[in-house]
A and B are shown apart, each in its own frame.
Chain A
Amino acid sequence: MPRSHGPGAVFKWTLLAPLFALLLFLVPVFLLQLYFSVHSWTIYLGSWWDAEFVWFDVFQEVLSDPRFGWSIVRSLVFAGVSTLGCFAVGFGLALLMYRPFRGHGLYYAFFILPMLTVPIVIAYTFEMLLYQKGPVNGILSAVLGTDVNVIWLADPRIAVLTTVLLEIWNWTPFVFIIMMAGLAALPRDLEEAAQSLGASRWRIFLEVKLPLLRPVIFLALILRFLEAIGEFPKTWALFQGGPGTATETIPVYLFLTTWTYFHVSRGAAMSYVVLLLMVGIVLMAIRMLRREKRILDRLYQAPAARP
């Protein structure tokens, strides 16, 4: 199949068809979204096509809603902290694991399990573990020798911590696997060269390995951050935004607005704000990733290109 004369038109369009089908399906959804965000409509106001056109009133309403603002802040903090947590644990484990040793396979198999568990299952599992007279407090009491009564699920401040810990438990394997792959792909010759020059392990890590790993680190951090902003099942199943509004992240507040308060218009307007925010973040992430990938490609091609 010579690349020179390119594919035939029919063939080419068949290959691309899925993409167009996808767009064709999604465009009306976004148009509908737009319609709702400039109309004032809730479920109680009759049929949606009779809704009143209000220009940008809904947007104004939404943007001056402090609860919405806080949900954004909360989401960013939640995503940031849980990303850092996942990264610290995942990278740490990968560093301890990437050289084979006895029992390596067993640890590896166990470490990736949480990622393979359905998020909603994780939520209910931890509900069983964390209620006040539950096994986690039981174990803590036994280990520490005093009665531990951490209110994991009902105290607003601790509830936030609980969501973060769950996210870390769930997605540390993701960072772990990616960092393992990154570490395994490190070219050994550079390390050996540094070693023969008498560099200490610590310096080799800081000055040889870490720079080579940078693209992979970026990838892990970015993907984890983006996914964490969208996290819904665990937070929703355990807290529904409560206690109070302590765990009301963007997805939870959007869900509440649309399906509990039935403010469809407000939900749509908020969605647009979030969409813009997210597209901004994603575009930034893409630029960063692309820059890193260029560096990566250059690094890995360089030895081969040298005469």
Chain B
Amino acid sequence: MTRQARRRLFAGFRFTMLTLWLLVVAFPMYWVLSTSFKPGHEWFAWPPVYWTSEPTLDNHRAVWVGETEALRTQEAFSMQKPLLALQHSLTIALIATTLSVSLGTLLAYGASRYRLLSERRMFNLLMLRMVPPIVVAAPLTLYYSALNLLDTVTGLVIVYVITTLPYSVWMTKSFIDEIPVEVEQAAAILGAGRWRTIWEVTLPLVRSGLVATFMFVLILAWSEYLMALILTKTEVVTLPVQLAKYEGSSEGRVYGRQAALAVGITLPLIIIGCLIRKHLVRGFSFGMVKR
């Protein structure tokens, strides 16, 4: 076989495989999106309706505005919550992420510049986040009820800060490591104090990295399910928990509504993820992959 034929064969093989996986990835997403525009009688149709001929905004409206007939007759209770859930999810995720990234930056700075903790000790400490959170969930609930943190925004914020801190630290550290110490020394010579140097020299230099970290942690906090499930009851509700509530609604499966809510939950993450896709690997790899 000539070289060119072989190359063409490889290109064909690559195209086939990649496109196959593309379909596997894209089809479920397409299905949710299209289901969210389908009228009720098409949710369970057989054969399945792949392309709806009567698209409707009812599902989205019912979920987010809640003014359709369906709301008043059937799902009044569970329908009321999505807006509240959106509000809570946003508040919790934003506050927790801000705190996590700020505290993480402090730790990362100390680790990067002063070796306050040896890299080794820090790595060990942070790898512990790999222990599944469910193992502390039960005592955490009782602890929280003693502290009156159950079913509060603060309670969830604290948990999310703790669970995302490792990622904040490792990601920001990898960015700070890249800034030469000389820049800071220059500022020190010019008479800037420690804090001023950090604030006016170091942080601006790692700004894009901090933004990436922020978004990454935001993704983690936004999609968390287990802790939200056990630490909240009625007052506080986040979007993932709200989505699960449709399962228990009295009229059985309401795929269209679920799909509409799912689209609303996922869309922001996909946008954020695409914005930071170049930085994603840092968050996951704990600084282990060289670039």
Contact B107 A97 (CB under 8 A): no
Cβ < 8 Å to B, chain A residues 51-70: none
Q: Specify which chain A residues have a CB less than 8 angstroms from the CB of B244 in the assembled complex.
A: 120, 124, 237
Nearest to B144 among chain A residues (CB) is A29
Q: A133-B46, A251-B132 are in contact. Are A128 and B32 (CB under 8 A)?
A: yes
Q: Specify which chain A residues have a CB less than 8 angstroms from the CB of B181 in the assembled complex.
A: 1, 3
Proximity string of chain A (15-39) to chain B, C-beta cutoff 8 Å, 1 when within and 0 when not: 1111100100110111011001000
Contact A112 B262 (CB under 8 A): no
Contact B165 A116 (CB under 8 A): no
Q: Is A156 an interface residue (CB 8 A)?
A: no
Task: Report the minimum CB–CB distance from B43 to chain A (whole Å).
Answer: 8
- Total inter-chain residue pairs, C-beta < 8 Å: 261
Among B130, B222, B259, the residue within 8 A (CB) of A118 is B222
Task: Report the minimum CB–CB distance from A222 to chain B (whole Å).
Answer: 9
Please report the C-alpha to C-alpha distance between residue A219 and residue B130 in the assembled complex, in whole angstroms.
Answer: 13
Q: Specify which chain B residues have a CB less than 8 angstroms from the CB of A184 in the assembled complex.
A: 291
Nearest to A229 among chain B residues (CB) is B132
Task: Report the minimum CB–CB distance from A165 to chain B (whole Å).
Answer: 10
Contact A30 B136 (CB under 8 A): yes
Q: Specify which chain A residues have a CB less than 8 angstroms from the CB of B219 in the assembled complex.
A: 116
Cβ < 8 Å to A, chain B residues 187-209: 187-188, 194-195, 197
By size class, the interface of chain A is: 35 or more
Please report the C-alpha to C-alpha distance between residue A232 and residue B127 in the assembled complex, in whole angstroms.
Answer: 19
Q: Specify which chain B residues have a CB less than 8 angstroms from the CB of A131 in the assembled complex.
A: 44
Contact A117 B269 (CB under 8 A): yes
Contact A118 B269 (CB under 8 A): yes
Contact A12 B110 (CB under 8 A): yes
Among B107, B240, B266, B273, the residue within 8 A (CB) of A16 is B107
Task: Report the minimum CB–CB distance from A241 to chain B (whole Å).
Answer: 13
Proximity string of chain B (230-264) to chain A, C-beta cutoff 8 Å, 1 when within and 0 when not: 10000000011001100100000001001100100
Q: A16-B110, A282-B127 are in contact. Are A271 and B135 (CB under 8 A)?
A: yes
Q: A96-B17, A138-B47, A230-B134 are in contact. Are A29 and B139 (CB under 8 A)?
A: yes
Q: Is B65 an interface residue (CB 8 A)?
A: no
Q: Specify which chain A residues have a CB less than 8 angstroms from the CB of B243 in the assembled complex.
A: 120-121, 124
Please report the C-alpha to C-alpha distance between residue A25 and residue B31 in the assembled complex, in whole angstroms.
Answer: 43
Please report the C-alpha to C-alpha distance between residue A282 and residue B22 in the assembled complex, in whole angstroms.
Answer: 34
Cβ < 8 Å to A, chain B residues 29-66: 29, 31-32, 35, 44, 46-48, 50
Q: Specify which chain B residues have a CB less than 8 angstroms from the CB of A271 in the assembled complex.
A: 134-136, 138
Q: Specify which chain B residues have a CB less than 8 angstroms from the CB of A109 in the assembled complex.
A: 274, 277
Q: Specify which chain A residues have a CB less than 8 angstroms from the CB of B247 in the assembled complex.
A: 237
Please report the C-alpha to C-alpha distance between residue A279 and residue B135 in the assembled complex, in whole angstroms.
Answer: 12
Among A116, A215, A258, the residue within 8 A (CB) of B288 is A215
Chain B contact residues, CB within 8 Å of chain A: 11, 14, 17-18, 21-22, 24-29, 31-32, 35, 44, 46-48, 50, 103-104, 106-107, 109-110, 113-114, 116-117, 120, 123-125, 127-128, 130-140, 142-143, 158, 162, 165, 181, 184-185, 187-188, 194-195, 197, 219, 222-223, 225-226, 230, 239-240, 243-244, 247, 255, 258-259, 262, 265-266, 269-270, 272-274, 277, 280-281, 284-286, 288-291
| 9 nearest A-B pairs in the assembled complex, by CB-CB distance | A230-B132, A15-B110, A116-B273, A18-B103, A32-B139, A118-B223, A226-B130, A271-B135, A233-B225
Interface pairs (19), CB distance under 8 Å: A1-B194, A15-B106, A19-B125, A28-B143, A101-B11, A112-B273, A113-B26, A117-B270, A121-B262, A121-B265, A125-B29, A129-B28, A129-B31, A135-B50, A185-B290, A233-B226, A254-B138, A283-B124, A293-B288
